[in-house]
């Protein structure tokens, strides 16, 4: 390591002291007896102990740190772990399933309920035809592994819906600039930006760099306008224009987990293959007896038999030392560290809530649900709103004009009406306690039916209309609906509560 990169702190201090003395001498002041405050951060000091740890620290920009070669190496290793590590595959599947679920549902608020219902139904038919929910789950999984994913609009004449719009997924490998054009324009690895940093065009290779097709030009590419592209990624730094694998901090941990497991299995197999060890305090070989075993010689043992040993020899059985008692603790600690960078609690990472009670499980899941909500908002703003604008503009050409000419004209300009998205809710571990808490919030006017139905991923208007139809039919059939649950009793004074109850907050039915 060069001295110029890591100068001696003591030498720096001496140089600064001489500079202060020279400045004082020029100004006519005496420096004798004067103390100068030297404030510093411990982590900013370079010492023999920490120089090796910080040797790869740099001051590169976000795009320079995530240059194509770095992103390529990270996503290749992340794909390898996802294909060969069951924990990695399970974590990725859980993230995709919990985030997307059965897919988002559209709710319009144009003020015309008939028009809203018409468009919502047409949207649902189109999403089923193009399998949008499946594509979004694949996109979310690709974002975890690769760090980014691209979706672009195409025309699919084989669709049975009036709108022939389709959405195509592309791996991030496609979006780069061929080497022969790399110096012709100012781009960020295939993204042409304007002066304000907004994407203008994307360069997409027609052939995947990892695929070899005879006769195809590996450098052929298309330039796609930014308004036809959805680039889904999470920027962890300002001025970052490409995504980095979300598994990047965990790749070495996944490797350690697999190596440790393999080492434990190998040790256990080695111990199981040796039935025992024969030892003697005397000479290892009796020259007069040809049947005396030699050192390190393997001797077959017949099943269900008694053995006699040569004089002076003893036999002992190996003790099973593997797997060690710390194996489970090590695996859980490592998986806890892996899940931390993904905001995934241990019981979700391992798909095992053994040892959890209701309160601890709910507290842990709150972090995870918040992460899911934030990711859904990102997908809404970056992907769904744009895809909905594509679909509405396409629908304006195939019948929307006859339904609402003003809305059709706005759709052709890319303007969408007020709308919101509904996602699947989370199942509750204890529906009775959750229902009681919901009842309390409604009685205290601290929530609304719309908010409570939204927690379940249900449109409250649709649910209430359906419930009204059910009650009407039940009245016609003479069926008495179930009586509502009685109001919960007032909570006792915590100061008067027994100590045993205070120690178990998980038993509180209003716990939220």
Instruction: Supply the pLDDT for residue 478.
Output: 87
Closest CA to 140 of 454, 385, 376: 376
Strand order in 199-205's β-sheet?
A: 191-193, 199-205, 221-225
> Cα(128)–Cα(104) distance, rounded to whole angstroms?
11
Instruction: Supply the pLDDT for residue 402.
Output: 67
- Residue ranges of the domains in the chain? 1-57, 63-249, 268-349, 427-482+502-512
> Cα(257)–Cα(253) distance, rounded to whole angstroms?
6
Instruction: Supply the pLDDT for residue 505.
Output: 42
Whose structure tokens read 């006519």?
A: 28
DSSP conformation letters of 489-506:
PPPPPGGGS-HHHHT-GG
pLDDT in tens, the chain (512 residues): 444 455 566 666 667 667 766 766 666 655 555 555 566 788 888 888 888 888 888 999 999 999 999 999 999 999 999 999 999 999 999 999 999 999 999 988 888 888 888 899 999 999 999 999 999 999 999 999 999 999 999 999 999 998 999 999 999 999 988 765 554 555 678 898 888 888 999 999 998 988 876 767 778 889 999 999 999 999 999 999 999 999 999 999 999 999 988 888 888 777 776 666 666 766 655 555 555 566 666 667 666 666 667 767 777 766 666 666 788 888 999 999 999 999 999 999 998 888 887 777 778 888 899 999 999 999 999 999 999 999 998 887 776 766 677 888 888 888 889 999 989 887 776 677 778 888 888 888 888 887 777 777 777 777 888 888 888 888 888 888 776 666 555 555 544 444 444 444 444 444 44
Q: What angle do CA 303, 306, 311 make, to 5 degrees?
A: 130
Helix, strand, coil in percent for the chain, rounding step 5: 50, 10, 40
Q: Angle at which helices 405-412 and 385-395 pack, to 10 degrees?
A: 120
Name the strand (E) or helix (H) holding 81: helix 68-84
Beta bridge partner(s), residue 230: 151
Please give the structure tokens belonging to residue 59: 């001051």
> Cα(379)–Cα(140) distance, rounded to whole angstroms?
9
By residue count, the chain amounts to 512
Please give the structure tokens belonging to residue 250: 């965990």
> Cα(385)–Cα(184) distance, rounded to whole angstroms?
33
């Amino acid at each position: 390591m060069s001295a110029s990169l890591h100068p001696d702190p003591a030498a720096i201090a001496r140089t600064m002291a001489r500079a202060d003395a020279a400045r004082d001498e020029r100004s006519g002041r005496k420096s004798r007896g004067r103390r100068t405050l030297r404030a510093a951060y411990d982590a900013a000091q370079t010492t023999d102990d920490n120089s090796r740890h910080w040797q790869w620290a740099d001051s590169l920009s976000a795009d320079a740190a995530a240059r194509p070669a770095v992103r390529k190496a990270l996503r290749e290793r992340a794909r390898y772990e996802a294909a060969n590590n069951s924990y990695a595959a399970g974590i990725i599947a859980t993230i995709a399933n919990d985030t997307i679920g059965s897919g988002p549902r559209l709710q319009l608020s144009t003020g015309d309920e008939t028009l809203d219902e018409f468009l919502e139904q047409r949207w649902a038919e189109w999403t089923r035809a193009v399998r949008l929910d499946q594509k979004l789950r694949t996109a979310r999984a690709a974002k975890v592994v690769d760090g980014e994913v691209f979706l672009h609009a195409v025309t699919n004449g084989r669709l049975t819906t009036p709108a022939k719009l389709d959405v195509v997924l592309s791996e991030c490998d496609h979006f780069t600039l061929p080497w022969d054009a790399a110096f012709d324009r100012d781009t960020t690895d295939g993204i042409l930006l304007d002066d304000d940093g907004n994407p203008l065009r994307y360069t997409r290779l027609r052939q995947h760099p990892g695929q070899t097709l005879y006769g195809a030009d590996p450098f052929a590419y298309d330039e796609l306008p930014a308004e036809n592209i959805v680039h889904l990624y999470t920027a962890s730094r300002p001025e970052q224009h490409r995504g980095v694998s979300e598994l990047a901090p965990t790749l070495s941990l996944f490797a350690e987990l697999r190596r440790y497991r393999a080492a434990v299995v190998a040790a256990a197999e080695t111990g199981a293959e040796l039935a025992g060890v024969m030892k003697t305090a005397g000479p290892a070989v009796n020259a007069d007896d040809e049947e005396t075993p030699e050192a390190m010689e393997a001797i077959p043992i017949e099943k269900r038999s008694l053995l006699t040993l040569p004089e002076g020899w003893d036999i002992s059985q190996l003790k099973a030392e593997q797997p060690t008692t710390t194996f489970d603790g090590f695996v859980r600690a490592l998986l806890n560290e892996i899940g931390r960078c993904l905001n995934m609690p241990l019981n979700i990472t391992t798909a095992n809530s053994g040892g959890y009670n209701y309160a601890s499980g709910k507290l842990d899941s709150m972090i995870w649900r918040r992460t899911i909500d934030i990711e859904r908002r990102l997908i809404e703003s970056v992907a769904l709103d744009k895809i909905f604008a594509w679909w509405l503009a396409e629908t304006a050409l195939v019948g929307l004009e006859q339904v609402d000419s003003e809305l059709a004209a706005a759709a052709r300009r890319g303007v969408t009406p007020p709308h919101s998205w509904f996602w699947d809710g989370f199942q509750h571990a204890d529906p009775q306690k959750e229902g009681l808490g919901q009842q309390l919030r409604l009685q205290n006017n601290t929530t609304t039916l719309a908010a409570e139905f939204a927690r379940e991923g249900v449109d409250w208007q649709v649910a209430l209309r359906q419930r009204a139809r059910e009650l009407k039919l039940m009245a016609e059939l003479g069926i008495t609906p179930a009586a509502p649950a009685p109001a919960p009793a007032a909570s006792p004074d915590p100061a008067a509560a027994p100590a045993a109850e205070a120690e178990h907050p998980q038993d509180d039915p209003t716990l939220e």
